Structure 1
Amino acid sequence: MKVWQYVIALAMAGLAAGCATGAPAQPQPKAEARTQAPATNDTPAPQVTESTPPGDIPDDTMFVIYRHPGQPYRVEVPEGWARTDLATGAGFTDKLNGIRIETKPATVPPTEASVRNQVQSDDIRTVNTVTRQGGKAVRIVYRADSSPDAVTGKVVKDEIERYIFHRSGLDAILTLSGPVGADNVDAWRTVSDSFRWTAP
């Protein structure tokens, strides 16, 4: 073997040995793709507590019959309301609401004009003649300031419904009052429908 051939053979043998003993290159791990979970709010949504607006009379209110000794009428009023006795009737109150029933002598039946003239208010909403189960009445709806609260002195704007029933020289005056915006339509209808003349 010639010298140059010998040198080439040695070089090839060394190269082969290096390839056999060298550790193969290890693939680098790919970076894991991390998906961040969307932020969550574990705090529960606040619960909204429904409350009855001031002046609203609950739908489950019970009514009882009121009669004044010596007066020829009867009317239903909410059970449990505070009562103030009057000469010919009574006043009933609960929170911001009020009912008042009383009588007065009247030689002629009321008219829409006469009832309007009796009310001291610059905010009259309705004057009309209505039919209730106890008979016809002149009805006036108006707004006025309430009496000051005995404790706080606060005054609220009231909406007032007044019904004047008439029979045999006598007016029966039914007045219903509550804060403007209060939902008392059903309760006031129950009270005004319950009015009855009784035997004198």
Structure 2
Amino acid sequence: MIVRNQISIALAVLLMLSFGAFAPAVAQEKLVAPETNPPGDIPDNQVFVTYTSPDGFDLKVPEGWSRTVIDHGVRFFDKYDQIDATLGTASAAPTASSAKAHEITDLKTAAHAVKVTAVKDVKLAAGPAIRISYQSNSAPNPVTNKQIRLDHERFILFKNGKTVTLDLAAPAGADNVDQWQLISNSLQWR
């Protein structure tokens, strides 16, 4: 009977040890607040990395975004956020007038329900550019067929017969002003 009691006590002690009954008290871990970024907002603390294009330009893009090769360029994306950088040719630098005459027609043909809100000549770190602000519908989701409205900023830069078209897109209303400025001003010709 004594052996049985000693075994019972030993088992009880082992169970208590395994469930932490004799463990030192540990401070309660505090809950981490969930992110409150609306869909499409690039976080303010986002890390950016430099993408070196084989086509002769460098561009800072958000770290961790997916990348795929597209016709004449590259696309970076995360959910509905997207950065397209494509290379083209031109005999002269585009102007706001030439963009209104040609680029906008092409946009309306290629994209979904385009509404252009502004076309301006701007100055970027890489040189003069055309900025086209517009909205479009996203491509339909292949599973749900759902579309959302997107805001775009498209920049067209020219150098030595080449153009780089940089198109930044996010769900309408997303606050990416600072991040888009960082991305567009990071573009450098090589």
Calculate the TM-score normalised by the size of structure 2. 0.74
Aligned to 2:45: 60
User: Given the alignment of the two structures, is residue 144 of structure 1 paired with residue 144 of structure 2, yes or no?
Assistant: no
Counterpart contact for 2:126–2:189, Cα < 8 Å: yes
Q: Does the residue aligned with 1:99 lie in a helix, a strand or coil?
A: strand
More helix by share: 2
Displacement of 1:153 = 2.0
Aligned to 1:77: 61
Displacement of 1:126 = 1.1
Aligned to 2:84: 100
Cα pair distance change 1:99/1:49, threshold 3 Å? closer
Q: Does the residue aligned with 2:51 lie in a helix, a strand or coil?
A: strand
Aligned to 1:156: 148
Structure 1 unaligned spans of 5+? 1-47
Counterpart contact for 1:133–1:194, Cα < 8 Å: yes
Deviations 1:60-106 (A, max 9, x none): 1011111122x121111000100011353210100110000011111
Cα-Cα RMSD: 1.6
Aligned to 2:125: 133
More strand by share: 2
Percent identity, please: 38
The one-letter code of the counterpart of 2:60 is E
Counterpart contact for 1:138–1:164, Cα < 8 Å: yes
Displacement of 1:114 = 1.9
Larger radius of gyration: 1
Q: Does the residue aligned with 2:178 lie in a helix, a strand or coil?
A: helix
Cα pair distance change 1:72/1:50, threshold 3 Å? closer
Report the more deviating stretch, 142-151 or 103-112.
Answer: 142-151
Displacement of 1:116 = 2.2
Return the match for 1:109 from 80, 84, 93: 93
Count of matched residue positions in the alignment of Structure 1 and Structure 2? 150
Q: Following the alignment from structure 1 to structure 2, what is the Cα–Cα distance between the partners of residues 88 and 110?
A: 19
Q: Does the residue aligned with 2:77 lie in a helix, a strand or coil?
A: strand
Counterpart contact for 2:114–2:137, Cα < 8 Å: no
The one-letter code of the counterpart of 1:150 is P
Aligned structure 1 segments of 4 or more residues deviating by more than 6 angstroms: none
Q: Does the residue aligned with 1:114 lie in a helix, a strand or coil?
A: helix
Displacement of 1:53 = 0.8
Structure 2 unaligned spans of 5+? 1-32
Cα pair distance change 1:98/1:50, threshold 3 Å? closer
User: Given the alignment of the two structures, is residue 86 of structure 1 paired with residue 86 of structure 2, yes or no?
Assistant: no
Calculate the TM-score normalised by the size of structure 1. 0.71
